[in-house]
Structure 1
Amino acid sequence: MDYCWRQWLPGPCTAVVVSLQWWRARAGSESDPCGRLIVKYAGPLAVASMGLACGVAVLQAAGQPVPSAMSAETSRELLTRYCLTCHNDVLAERGTVPATFEHLDLTNVRADAEVWERVVRKLRLGMMPPVGRPRPEQATYDRFVAWLEAELDQGASSDPGRPAVRRLTEAEYINAVDSLLAVEADQRWLLFPADDVDEQGFATSGDVLSISPALFERYLAAANRISRLAVGDPTVGPGFAAASYETPRLLYQDDRMSEGLPFGSRGGMAVRHYFPVDGEYEITIRLRRMIYDYIVGMREPQQLDVRLDDVLLERFTVGDAERHGYPSAYTFFGTIRGDPDWEEYVSKGADAHLNLRFQAAAGLHTVGIVFADARTEATGVLERRLSGFSLSGRGFYHDNAAVARVDIVGPHSVTGPGDTPSRRQLFSCRPEVLSDEEPCARQILSGLARRAYRRPATNDDVETLMRFYERGKADRGLEGGIQKAVERLLGSP
């Protein structure tokens, strides 16, 4: 009964006398000495007396000094008296208890830190000693737990290990670039290797986020490309922003394929492409071929549209191959050939003219390549959809035409750096005279460093970027200097 009071009322309150009525439940466990307890107060006077006594006792306890810490010797005596009855070699060998305390060295708690950590958890939950076993006074109990935790903490902090230099993960780097410069970095040209994971499955641990010379070169190349995209470098060549976009070979293109494509369309693709500067670009479209290299869907004429942000740039006509001669058998398997002109058209010429040069403003745009959907439904027995090898290896070529690949190259000619969200975010000031360039550059780089480092930028931070600014300024003025400073900033992940 005394144990139950220590569990439910603060220690100083146990001296309060109240009327109690308690009993054990019939199905109560022998391991639960308290059973079921109902506390009944003798009356309003008893309740008031109890509250007053508890309040005074707690205030008195709060004013008392903290008990002195225990020593290894007194802790050993406590362990021997209350714990070794169960946690001894005999019961540990039988498997009755998970560990024995007979040979643990309390003068060197760190040597068995794993065992003592489990002991602390049990003690904090009040699970040791078990219910019904003798227990020390609560003050002694708390002093032992505090001493044990202090010994464990002291041992853990004596050798913290070697701190790893942590870099950003790939996702963190891409998000940081988007936040700093409003540039959507693309993993297809970043070419970062996949981040490793530790033994717990986390990819954000500093132990696995190391950096090798090869990976550092990838970061330098990415920093150069991203900085030129952000500033709008007019010296970029046609291959700088070149990209190829492909569709899966087994993808059916008989319906609207994307939210970025108009209603009433079929097949094709919508891609988000970043144009580095204002200028002229070129797009090349290649149609899907079947296993014997015949272009699929050339029997009927079809319209293929090229769109830039929902604006029609060009409309091509493909198909109607029978105008070029007698075709081969419908189920062509390389044995029955058609007329030479027909063969030339369906194998090479049907998509040879699908090239277009167009003007595009700098920034991120949606390029749509799409067929006009047929307004009629096929009659007769519907053909069963194929998949897997049956689809990739089929010999039919009279299906709907489909887009296989889209190549975008450029700029071929540059008309200006453009007005992009990146430039508006980066160039917070515009000097009107030459003498204002350096203060403006310092203002831009100070703000950029503050947001990149997520703290107030120091003079050393800004001066490092200003040295790179001076190098770039010698080639292309203010914008060239800012581009070099941004490249230096992004090259340190």
Structure 2
Amino acid sequence: MHLQFRWLLPSLLLSVFATTCSAADLDKILKSELQPLLKTYCLDCHDAASAEGGVALETPASALAMRMDRETWMRALRQVQAEVMPPSDSPEMPAADRAAMIHLIDEVANSVDCGPNVNPGKITLRRLNSSEYRNTIRELTGVDYTPAANFPGDDVGYGFDNIGDVLSLPPLLLEKYLQAAEEIMGQAIKTAPGAQLFSVQHPGENLGDADKYSTRNGSVRLSSSGEVYLQEKIPFGGQFELRLTAYGDQAGDEPVKFEVKVDGKLQRIVSVPASDPTDYTIKLRLSKGKHKISFAFTNDYYKPAADGKKGEDRNAAIAHVMLSGESKVDNSKVVGDLPATHRKLIFVTPSRDRTPESAAAEVIQRFASRAFRRPATNDEIRRLGMLAAEVRSDGGTFDESIQVAFQAVLVSPHFLYKFEQPRQPDANGVYPPVNAFELAARLSYFLWSSMPDEELFKLAWNDSLHDPEVLAGQVHRMLKDPRSVLMVDNFASQWLQLRNLSKSNPDQSQFPEFDDEIRGLLRRETLTFFAAVMRYDRPITELLDGRFTYLNERLAKFYGVPGISGDEFQFVRFEDGVRGGLLTQASILTVTSNPTRTSPVKRGKWILDNILGTPPPPAPPNVPELERSELTGTMRQRLVQHRDNPACASCHKLMDPLGFALENFDAIGQWRQQQDGLPVDASGELPGGIKITGVEDLRKVLVEQQREQFVRCVTEKLLTFALGRGLEYYDKCAVDKIQNRLAANDYRFSELILGIVQSDPFQKQGVRQ
């Protein structure tokens, strides 16, 4: 097989042309060298009038004009690189002209001075996405808040869900944050259960036996010795307050008096000298249970009229009765059962030598500084302390006051967003680095999808994290830490589109062995494979040709691999030439298939997008999907007919042969030799006449001829994930440097990470151009 693979020129060829030309020089190059090539090979079909395929390459007036329309020119560059443009029915483009056009488009459209004052790029203020939020809460409070998984979905930009430009804060999510803050702190800090309240009240006319006496305006009137009562079931024991609203018709030499009894036992004699309703308060100690509280009018007095004097008649009246109480809390029982999270968060409490205010300030300072990923300011600590003090002034305990203050921290923008101070370049145009705390946060959210740990905070406080040796040591430490699996899950699952596996539904009548368990195992296999390349610091090229994987018994049977037993994943080495690397893993093969059959187009597009970093443009408008078109015959025959459409030919010329090379794998990634009773045809011809047959040829071509293209693709994808923004043309300086570093160090995974974290875009904050 001829492997002179010219259809995609290695991107390293472009990286050596980092230009230092002036604007005038670039305009001269554009006019004298590039415009003649465009006129000869492109503008017959792609001028403004024709614009075939929706691409108009009007002769640019200047290098600046090309940079302003970079997206179009990068699309054109990829087509020329892939030798799909000019199309096969046009005059052949000599190799020298093709190489010259590729170089010139790149030089003019991507012109940037890779000197010390290259723009490091502006990172938009980024909200924590749902995964980062849950991980950060767990690290900060010790609470694994599972409801975070049900937050509104995060939008995706540039292939990832941590991109600042698309992470908005809709009202529903804000409500979720408020609810979450209360629930999280309720789990992390155990406060005493709230006091139980009891209160009953009755107008006099509703008291027991009131119907034996006269009533008026809600009051019961006792005109002679008499008794009424209140009977209630008391829910807890303790001290209660009885408020008796009473009055009387006064006569004789003493006021109206009531005996207050509980279950027949005298508690107090109440004198009622008032002639109008007046409140009298009595303290009663009651046990839990049913009680009868009676009010007896005991000093009735009557003197009839005589000798011309008016008679006197002492009468009593009760207008209203209220009984209320509050249970006491035994704090000693709570203190003895505090969770570890509580003791860690509230590490000091008020004492004889420490006021509540100073204890609160100390606790708040530590928590807020960790939550904000930088030292909390004195004003922030003061305001949070005032909030805590207000809770205590309302009767709350010290722990309750801290709980409320921490809730406020968890809904603060400084927790929910990754704030960074804006930077301005110095007099020479050089941007300063981000501060040590911002660098620690960038590092931890890149490698752990979570907040910095104590060691990173300590290095930030000491301002030593910018030291290259210190930073390298932290990278190696963090990659070995179990938390690095979170980066694997969040980066690899999105780069490789594994999250789409949950949406893949292979037809059960054709693929009964595919179930939810297999779905989960396939995802786990790919992530474990990626993690092994990272953990053992293998060359990243082994992602393409590593002849090993990790399987358990069920997954081994799915693949037809003998000798594996048990539920635990085990290292498996492939000795044949079939399995090996990402392209042969069933997770990838399933997400790039249709429910009932394979899709060479989807698989080819996946390789272009995720392995080579050269995504094809969207399908032209008004072109029906292949599955819905009127084309007939086998899939290969239908694709040949589909390519007869000039608008489709250029992309399918590239995608289809890549996808057909994987045809020995069915729609769920199992190996097959035949399809519908006929031998599988896994052959294809790439642009430039390069013929390949099967996955082994494809893998060899990708690894041997397109290694630098793959390395650049992985670098750009991971740098995008690390920065939380899309890459700009001036980021090519950093990508070139990382790629050269990898080539000089056997493409080790750790060198990729070190290259990213030591790059200017990661270390600095610039402006958006």
TM-score, normalisation: structure 1: 0.40
Whichever structure has more helix as a proportion of its residues is 2
TM-score, normalisation: structure 2: 0.27
